[in-house]
Chains A and B, each alone.
Chain A
């Protein structure tokens, strides 16, 4: 029974979603509508938490704008979230970084994850993106043939 829901959700989820962890610094490409026009806005910040699973997965992103903390929640599978790019991997020891909310100034920074793990993550991300791009190109070519 639940497998029916799982199949339905699998059909509706995106084919490719960036692998993320709490503490990562990300750029979220978010589609916004201004009257008739649509444009992609970037929201750059730290991932405080990853909530939910499957099609309900959402990330909490926090940044400081003019000395004021701003948090936004992005559902990863929303059609308006065009892309999420990891610019920096964070070295953290917990899944929810809500303690960062209480910090001010230099203390809000998360240590960068360096070394083999970070390099491996970078490579994995690049290969996943490439595979996704190739799959999309193949699908496009297929639909053009048909």
Chain B
């Protein structure tokens, strides 16, 4: 498995040589630095911690500053761990760049979705709308939420209005259309969670890869 951190930059479209149009998301990724190596002996599991994008030390708390000082790398804004099955082949300070991925690879992209605040059932769960005319007044209401004396309560997990978005989301099995090594860009077919400028993690797809 390969992980790389970056920022979503926005969407555009590209033409294939056959003339088909593919909508792509531009993700500016890496170069990421290994800021820590977790080991079975010390931490109980194997992993590497990656850091992306330099940040002024002033913005960080003392413990975080100390963490970067022991690692001997410049302070980073965005830190994430990549869990490994075997002891890491990387050392602290190693760089991981876009070339970890190639055109045609399948990737999973993890990001934080756009926050919609307190949203109703239509936006949040895709409920259908009531009639606007013919004397109806239940236009965006959610409708019935249960039966009567039995069970006499509303079931847990009943889909209702509430806070929507601003939540970690994984979009699986997206295809890498182009890798721009010079500008550290990945062009990924399809949409990626979050706003333009939001942090994302791009990793090799966990499912969806055909065996053999």
- Flag B1-36 by CB within 8 Å of A: 1 or 0 each: 000000001111111011101000010100000000
Query: Is B196 interfacial (CB-CB < 8 Å)?
Result: yes
Q: Is the CB of B12 within 8 A of A8?
A: yes
Tell me the minimal C-beta distance from B210 to chain A in angstroms.
27
Within 8 A of A (CB), among B17-68: 17-19, 21, 26, 28
Q: Is the CB of A31 within 8 A of B13?
A: no
Q: Is the CB of A1 within 8 A of B197?
A: yes
Contacts of A4 in B (CB 8 A): 9-10, 26, 28
Tell me the minimal C-beta distance from B36 to chain A in angstroms.
30
Q: Is the CB of B21 within 8 A of A12?
A: no
Tell me the minimal C-beta distance from B181 to chain A in angstroms.
14
Contacts of B15 in A (CB 8 A): 12, 75, 77-79
Tell me the minimal C-beta distance from B9 to chain A in angstroms.
5
Q: Is the CB of B13 within 8 A of A79?
A: no
Distance A8 CA – B197 CA, assembled complex (angstroms) = 16
Q: Is the CB of B14 within 8 A of A12?
A: yes
Interface size on B, residues (CB 8 A): 16
- Flag B177-191 by CB within 8 Å of A: 1 or 0 each: 000000001000000
Contacts of B26 in A (CB 8 A): 4-5, 8
Tell me the minimal C-beta distance from A51 to chain B in angstroms.
13
Which of the listed residues B11, B14, B15, B26 has the most CB atoms from chain A within 10 Å of its own CB? B15
Q: Closest residue of chain A to B14, judged by CB?
A: A12
Q: Is the CB of A75 within 8 A of B9?
A: no
- Residue in B9, B11, B12, B17 whose beta carbon sits within 8 Å of that of A79 in the complex: B17
Distance A8 CA – B21 CA, assembled complex (angstroms) = 15
Distance A5 CA – B173 CA, assembled complex (angstroms) = 23
Distance A118 CA – B185 CA, assembled complex (angstroms) = 44
Q: Closest residue of chain B to A4, judged by CB?
A: B9
Tell me the minimal C-beta distance from B96 to chain A in angstroms.
21
Query: Is A66 interfacial (CB-CB < 8 Å)?
Result: no
Nearest 3 CB-CB pairs, A to B? Answer: A80-B19, A78-B19, A5-B10
Q: List 27 A-B contacts (CB under 8 A).
A: A1-B9, A1-B10, A1-B197, A2-B10, A4-B9, A4-B10, A4-B28, A5-B10, A5-B11, A5-B26, A8-B12, A8-B26, A9-B12, A12-B14, A12-B15, A31-B19, A55-B12, A55-B13, A56-B13, A75-B15, A75-B21, A77-B15, A78-B15, A78-B21, A79-B19, A80-B18, A80-B19
Binding site for A on B (CB under 8 A): 9-15, 17-19, 21, 26, 28, 185, 196-197
Binding site for B on A (CB under 8 A): 1-2, 4-5, 8-9, 12, 31, 55-56, 75, 77-80
